Amino acid sequence: MKNKIIAIAKKTIDLEARSISELGELLDDNFEKAITAINNCEGRLVVSGIGKSAIIAQKIVATLNSTGTPSIFLHAADAIHGDIGMVQQHDVVMILSKSGESPEIKILVPLIKNFKNILIALCGNMQSYLSRQADIVLNTTVTEEACPNNLAPTSSTTAQLVMGDALAICLMEIKGFSTEDFAKFHPGGTLGKKLYLRVAELIINNEKPVVKRDSPLKDVIIEITKMRLGATVIVDDEQKILGIITDGDLRRMLEKNISLQNLKADDIMTLHPKTIESSELAVDALDLMRKKNITQLIVVKNGKYAGIVHLHDLVREGII
Which residue positions form the known binding site? Answer: 75
Single-letter residue type at 34: A
Q: How far apart are CA 49 and CA 57, in angstroms?
A: 6
Alpha carbon dihedral 94, 98, 101, 102, in 10-degree steps, equals -80
3-state secondary structure of 149: coil
DSSP alpha helix (H) spans, 68-154: 76-79, 103-114, 129-133
Alpha carbons 289 and 213: distance in angstroms, whole number:
25
Q: Report how far residue 96's alpha carbon sits from residue 130's, in angstroms, rounded to the nearest whole number.
A: 9
Query: Helix, strand or coil for residue 48?
Result: strand
Q: Which residues line the annotated binding site for Zn(2+)?
A: 75
Angle at 81 between CA 79 and CA 85, to 5 degrees: 55
